[in-house]
Amino acid sequence: MKITGVKINYYHICHTKLWLFSHNIALEHEHENVNIGKLLHEERYSKKKKDITIDNTISIDFVKQRNGVMELHEIKKTKKMEDAHLRQMLYYLYYLKKRGVEGKGVMNYPLLNQIREVELTPDGEKSIEEDIRGIEEIVTGRMPHPKRMRICPKCAYFEFCFCGEGNED
Amino acid sequence: MRTDYYILQDGILKRKQNTVYFENKEGKRALPVNKIYSVYAYGKLSFSSGVVSYLSKNGIPIHFFNYYGFYEGSMYPRETLISGDLVIQQASHYLDEEKRKSLGRKFIEGACSNILKNLRYYSRNRDDIQESMDAYIDSIEAEILCLPESSSSIPQMMNVEGRIRNIYYSALDEIFPEEYRIVTRTRRPPGNKMNTLISFGNSLMYTTVLSEIYNTQLNPTISYLHEPFERRFSLALDVSEIFKPIIIDRVILKLVNKNMLDDNCFRGEIGDMLLSEKGKKIFLQGYNDKLGTTIKHKGLKRNVSYKRLIRLELYKLSKHVLGDEEYKPLVMWW
């Protein structure tokens, strides 16, 4: 199974979303926040060569060399899902390390004027390996029944998950 | 929110860089591509391949209707939302006789429950016809009861549905003023005013549902109640059944009861009656208003438009075939 950065990200947000996305039930294209993210991605850092795709599996927003260290950069709109975003970056670092390239990660929040550095530790590596196993288990299984969380109303899958008129869960 | 765009006049669609213009003798109008959901063409429309590729790129289907207002076909953009898993599940629900019948029955049950809602409204609010309305309601309810037993085949279910529709039309004949009686349902061409309105409305409903299906991963050719080979996009026919009483019939009831139509809205004669341009305009206005009406959704706990309800219905169907949650047809709760 191809594990993309988005799957790692979704694994830490919602398993139903992960399952639907992995089964090509994409709903993000209509969602306002996604379009804002897309614009942000296209407009900011416009001089950098962007979207470095490796093995058709991971896609890094942009890459920089600083003091002989390779920096992987990821652009995010807000810190709301920070944990999931950091995992996504850890996974990129892990993926490249497996291919013999070491570097560090930098999260860019242009709208907040903040950056945050991320480094891959042995613990981090272990947790990514657990993530990968967890994702494989979910995606090959049955669709996880949606559970209502506080973040649900902001999700592109909200209407899909709770389209039934009698759903109170 | 993107909206539908209706073109009633004859003219040409032209693309000039990234803008599409509709042009005719009366002038030139730009089509706001980012705000259009689908285009409904009722006039004679000429366009270049540049327009087609640009609208396709933006995922905008064009639905064509002929001179008589009948649906002719759609320029359906290349599918971009494809989920192999979902399509396989959708097909497996067709191939498995029991699963297919269960879904087929639900479309009929949903349609009939909504038909009953319409009739109960008139039973409650019109003392003069209350008694006969109640009688029609009873006989429809009796037919619905024999739906599960007669479910040995889809055609038998369709027969029950046909009988219910006939009872329903007789009931409507009591609600409508005399000049709008259906008497018998006739198509191609519709024989009188009410048949004209129903035909026009049903083909609109079909295309609206089709546009919605386009925006999901469902395959429009795999259907349950109607045979997939009956027409190209038969899933739209299945789902339309649920929405015809909710949307089309209620638009018609409003237009007729509020006396919004006059003789200039029709052309032709009895036996061959059609909507005139004025009639189409009034109908489309009423239809579009209805699609935009919002109600509070019980599951989402937010306001959704009638049009969005169609999409939600398709999501419910997707979840059913994926095995997450059993499909329950939408029945008006308001």
Mean pLDDT of all residues in A59-67: 87
Nearest 10 degrees: Cα torsion B93, B99, B103, B104: 100
Tokens of B276: 């005139």
Query: Measured between alpha carbons, how far is residue A168 from residues A145, B177, B301, B313, B330 in Å?
Result: 13, 43, 10, 17, 16
Q: Which of A35, A165, A167, A169 to mutate to test the interface with B (most CBs of B within 10 A)?
A: A165
**Chain B CA closest to residue A167:** B299
Best of B106, B308, B318, B325 to disrupt the A interface (most A CBs within 10 Å) is B325
User: Annotated binding residues of B, as ranges?
Assistant: 161, 226, 241
Please tell me the distance in Å from A42's CA to the nearest CA on chain B. Answer: 18
Share of chain B above pLDDT 70, in %: 97
Q: Is the pLDDT of residue B73 over 90?
A: no
Q: Which residues of A touch B85 (CB under 8 A)?
A: 23-24
Q: Measured between alpha carbons, how far is A86 from A94 in angstroms, rounded to an integer?
A: 12
pLDDT at B208 over 90: yes
Q: What is the pLDDT of residue A54?
A: 87
Angle at B7 between CA B1 and CA B13, to 5 degrees: 95
Residues B153 and B235 in one domain: yes
Contact B86 A25 (CB under 8 A): yes
Residues 6+ apart with CB under 8 A from B323: A142, A143, B89
Q: Which residues of B7-45 are buried (b: 16+ CB within 10 A; e: fewer)?
A: beeebebbbeeeebbbebeeeeeebebeebbbbbbbbeb
My answer on whether B23 and B169 are in the same domain is: no
Contact B298 A26 (CB under 8 A): no
Q: Are B91 and B224 in contact (CB under 8 A)?
A: no
Res. A65 pLDDT band, cuts 50 70 90: confident
So what's the pLDDT on residue A145? 94
Classify residue B11: in a domain, yes or no.
yes
| B76 domain residue, yes or no | no
Would B300 be classed as within a structural domain?
yes
| Mean pLDDT (whole number) for B287-294 | 94
Instruction: Provide CB contacts within 8 A for A168, sequence distance 6+.
Output: B299
- List the CATH number of the domain containing B122: 1.20.120.920
Answer yes or no: do B277 and B129 share one domain.
yes
B168 and B55 belong to one structural domain: no
List CB contacts (< 8 A) between A168 and chain B.
299
Range of the domain at B27: 3-60
Flag if A163 and B85 touch (Cβ within 8 Å).
no
ipTM of the complex, rounded to two decimals? 0.84
For residue A28, give how far its alpha carbon lies from the nearest alpha carbon of chain B (Å). Answer: 11
A-B CB pairs within 8 A amount to: 65
Domain extents in chain A: 5-162
Q: In Å, how far is A99's CA from the nearest CA of chain B? A: 31
For residues B54 and B89, membership in a common domain is answered with no
Residues B305 and B168 in one domain: yes
Task: Tell me the Ramachandran region of residue B241: left when phi exceeds 0, alpha when psi lies from -120 to 50, beta otherwise.
Answer: alpha
* In a domain? residue B75: no
Instruction: Give the pTM.
Output: 0.87
pLDDT tens profile B219-258: 999 999 988 776 678 999 999 999 999 999 999 999 998 8
Please check whether residues B96 and B151 belong to one and the same domain. yes
Please judge whether B330 and A160 are an interchain contact, meaning their C-beta atoms are less than 8 angstroms apart. Answer: no
B312–A23 CB contact, under 8 Å: no
Q: Does domain A5-162 have CATH number 3.90.320.10?
A: yes
The distance of A43 to chain B (nearest Cα, Å) reads 19
Give the pLDDT confidence of B179-201 residue by residue, as tens digits. Answer: 888 877 777 777 788 888 998 99
B300 and B219 together in one domain: yes
Q: Is residue B262 part of a domain?
A: yes
B66 located within any domain: no
Residues of chain B contacting residue A141, judged by C-beta atoms under 8 Å apart: none
Contact check, Cβ <8 Å, A166/B311: no
| Interface residues from chain B to A (CB-CB < 8 Å) | 81-86, 215, 217, 297-300, 302, 308, 311-313, 315-316, 318-319, 322-325, 328, 330, 333
**Does B214 share its domain with B281?**
yes
B129 and B271 housed in the same domain: yes
Per-residue pLDDT band for A39 (boundaries 50, 70, 90) equals confident
Pairing of strands B62-65, B36-41: parallel
B91 and B10 in one domain? no
List the structure tokens of B38: 């689908």
Same domain? For B56 and B108 the reply is no
- Least Cα distance to A117 among A73, A79, A83 occurs for A73
Nearest CA in chain A to B330: A165
Cβ <8 Å between A164 and B330: no
**Domain-located, residue B331:** no
Chain A interface mutation, best of B316, B324, B330, highest count of A Cβ atoms under 10 Å: B324
The number of folded domains in chain B is 2
Of A112-116, B56-60, B64-68, highest mean pLDDT: A112-116
Q: Would the pLDDT of A142 be above 60?
A: yes
CATH number of the domain where residue B11 is located: 3.100.10.20
- For residue B326, being part of any structural domain is answered with no
